[in-house]
Amino acid sequence: MRSAIADHVIDPAALTAEVAHDRNGATVLFLGTVRETNDGRSVTGIEYSAYRSMAERELAAIVAEASREFGTSDIVVEHRVGTLDIGEVSVAIAVAHPHRGAAYDASRYVIEHIKRRVPIWNREHYSDGTREWVDPTAHRAAAEAVR
């Protein structure tokens, strides 16, 4: 198990190599990447910042929970901070397990809990030169108001 907040470019191949073991029959690699549009606006890059010490603790806690719940210690997670271009990897989760079902479930658990709990924020840079902090809760509130 390993987790980190990374200042450097994430190397997905290195993460999958890190979880490889002869006991495993399945490896799931999840990559989050910077998308060129969000809510219809043209994005040129995303700046990630974190409450670093707490983000490291929270990431480690999530990985430990996933390990206990899904029965594998072969889990490695890295989340970037800094300014990323379109297509760059912002988060990578590698999980290996004897069986695919649990590998998928553990991967899903880790990304969903990152999105809920890890103190990381992102500010999108748009093609018109403006920048805005992304607030996923505002989006959810708006979606519920429409419903």
Partner 1 sequence: MTVTVLLFASYADALGERKIPIDVPNGSTVGEVVRRVREMAGSARLPTEPMVAVNEEYAKADRRLAAGDEVAIIPPVAGG
- Where does this chain touch partner 1 (CB under 8 A) — which range of 6-14, 21-29, 54-62, 94-102? 54-62
Q: Which is nearer to partner 1, 48 or 109 (by Cβ)?
A: 48
Q: Which is nearer to partner 1, 20 or 134 (by Cβ)?
A: 134
**C-alpha distances in angstroms, 45 versus 60, 64, 94, 99?**
27, 31, 24, 37
Residue with tokens 């806690």: 61
Interface pick for partner 1 out of 25, 71, 101, 136 (rule CB under 8 A): 136
**Exposure of 116 by Cβ count < 10 A (0-12 exposed, 13-18 middle, 19+ buried)?**
exposed
Give the DSSP letter of residue 119. -
Q: Which helix (H) or strand (E) holds 31?
A: strand 26-33
**Exposure of 143 by Cβ count < 10 A (0-12 exposed, 13-18 middle, 19+ buried)?**
exposed
Q: Is 114 in the site for partner 1 (CB under 8 A)?
A: yes
Q: Is 106 in the site for partner 1 (CB under 8 A)?
A: no
Q: Which of 105, 122, 106, 108 is nearest to 49 (CA)?
A: 122
- From the CB of 93, what's the least distance to partner 1, in Å? 10
Q: Is 107 in the site for partner 1 (CB under 8 A)?
A: no
Residue 17-36 contact track with partner 1, rule CB under 8 A, x = bound: ---------------x----
Q: Which is nearer to partner 1, 20 or 37 (by Cβ)?
A: 37
Query: Which positions lie near partner 1, rule CB under 8 A?
Result: 32, 48-51, 53-55, 57, 79, 90-91, 111, 114-123, 133-138
